[in-house]
């Protein structure tokens, strides 16, 4: 496993270059299997875990199933100090009696100050820890003033409950505005942005705010070079198997000619390197000019082992150029 440093200019720490996503732990992935996956990840040198306060509240669980499984595993293994834990707030149900959805009428709890403060403490309780290394706003909340949201995250940092803060599913201009607001308030800015990113890219869509655009990556590069670190974390980099499985359709906006050509070249490069297409995608992300931290999800140890094979994979510059050129 390889490692990199993430931070916000005030707080920083080292994480593994692959982050383990735990969305289905406690629901689709039973606790015994979840423990085995966590054990294997740590055995391979993994240190970065990603969860949320609403995994998995859309039909199979009650919302904190993943946090609870991780909490029990941490208590049993006694290895909290070896790990970096990230969870999220803002996209759990505001009204438990209504569906959780991201189209109007939305039913997200949002990123008001009271919600952020209360949910952070609930996450600490379910995880069984005294601090969160990283704490994200799960979905940008345009209905709450940025000053309130930024101030609430800053207060948690001042209290020692949170290390680095971040935001997910957000427009670039909101990231910039939030970081400027943090400077005005004298608190640490967001050090993490978690967006969807994979090797294929979607059609342009004015309504899509969850994509790690080239503009975001360029902003992250410039910010980091200027001494104000901003790391990009990529969720669903393998599109839950859709890049390699014929039985899984490509996600909305991705089924277009360039994607099909990219997948053809991806398979060629994988065959030439002796790696799997999934491993090549992950290596393409971690070894990019603006390195990205991919979140990998697995429902078995065997699946995880394949993905771990990307941790030390370096793509030949000529092969990377072929991938980029499509």
Cα–Cα dist 320/146, whole Å: 39
* pLDDT score of 56: 83
* pLDDT score of 63: 87
Of the residues 55, 108, 201, 235, which is catalytic? 55
Least Cα distance to 269 among 303, 316, 305 occurs for 316
* pLDDT score of 36: 98
* pLDDT score of 61: 86
What distance lies between CA 308 and its chain's CA centroid? Answer: 17
Cα–Cα dist 293/315, whole Å: 16
* pLDDT score of 100: 78
Q: Specify the fold of 3-325.
A: TIM Barrel (3.20.20)
12 bridge partner residues = 7
**Catalytic site includes residue 55:** yes
Q: Could you write out the DSSP letters of every residue in 209-266?
A: -SB--HHHHHHHHHHHHTT---EEEEESTTGGGTTT-TTSPPPTTT-SHHHHHHHHHH
* pLDDT score of 2: 97
Q: For each successive 10 residues of the chain (326 residues), what is the average pLDDT?
A: 97 98 96 98 98 88 94 98 98 86 82 98 98 98 97 98 98 98 98 98 87 97 97 97 92 94 98 98 97 97 98 97 97
Cα–Cα dist 254/245, whole Å: 15
**Nearest-5° angle of CA 249, CA 252, CA 256?**
80
Alpha helices in the chain (DSSP H): 31-43, 65-77, 113-127, 146-158, 172-185, 214-225, 257-273, 277-286, 301-308, 317-325
* pLDDT score of 229: 97
Distances (CA, A) of 113 to 193, 194, 262, 271, 297: 20, 21, 43, 50, 31
- Residues ≥6 apart with Cβ < 8 Å to 137: 88, 89, 90, 111, 116, 149, 153, 165, 166, 167, 168, 170
* pLDDT score of 205: 83
**Is residue 173 classed as helix, strand or coil in its secondary structure?**
helix
Least Cα distance to 107 among 96, 117, 115, 116 occurs for 96
* pLDDT score of 97: 82
* pLDDT score of 235: 98
């Amino acid at each position: 496993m390889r490692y990199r440093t993430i931070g916000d200019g005030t707080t920083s720490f080292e994480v593994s270059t692959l982050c383990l996503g735990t969305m289905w732990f406690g629901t689709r992935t039973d606790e015994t299997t979840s423990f085995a996956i966590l054990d294997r990840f740590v055995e391979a040198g993994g240190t970065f875990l990603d969860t949320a306060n609403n995994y998995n509240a859309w039909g199979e669980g009650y919302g904190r199933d993943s946090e609870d499984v991780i909490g029990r595993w941490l208590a049993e293994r006694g290895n909290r100090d070896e790990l970096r834990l990230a969870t999220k707030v803002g996209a759990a149900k505001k009204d438990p009696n209504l569906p959780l959805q991201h189209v109007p009428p939305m039913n997200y709890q949002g990123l008001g100050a009271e919600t952020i403060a209360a949910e952070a403490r609930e996450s600490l309780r379910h995880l069984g820890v005294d601090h969160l290394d990283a704490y994200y706003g799960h979905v940008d909340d345009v209905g709450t003033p940025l000053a309130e949201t930024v101030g609430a995250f800053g207060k948690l940092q001042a209290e020692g409950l949170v290390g680095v803060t971040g935001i997910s599913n957000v427009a670039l201009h909101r990231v910039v505005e939030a970081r400027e607001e943090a400077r005005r308030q004298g608190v640490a800015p967001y050090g993490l942005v978690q967006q969807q990113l994979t090797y294929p890219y979607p059609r342009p869509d004015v309504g899509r705010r969850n994509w790690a655009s080239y503009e975001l990556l360029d902003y992250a590069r410039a910010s980091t070079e200027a001494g104000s670190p901003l790391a990009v974390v990529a969720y669903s980099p393998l599109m839950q198997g859709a890049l390699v499985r014929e039985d899984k359709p490509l996600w909305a906006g991705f089924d277009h000619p360039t994607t099909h050509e990219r997948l053809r070249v991806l398979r060629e490069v994988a065959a030439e390197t002796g790696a799997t297409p999934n491993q090549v995608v992950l290596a393409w992300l971690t070894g990019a000019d603006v390195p990205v931290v991919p979140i990998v999800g697995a429902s078995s140890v065997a699946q995880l082992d394949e993905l771990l094979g990307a941790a030390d994979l370096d793509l030949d510059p000529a092969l990377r150029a072929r991938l980029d050129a499509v």
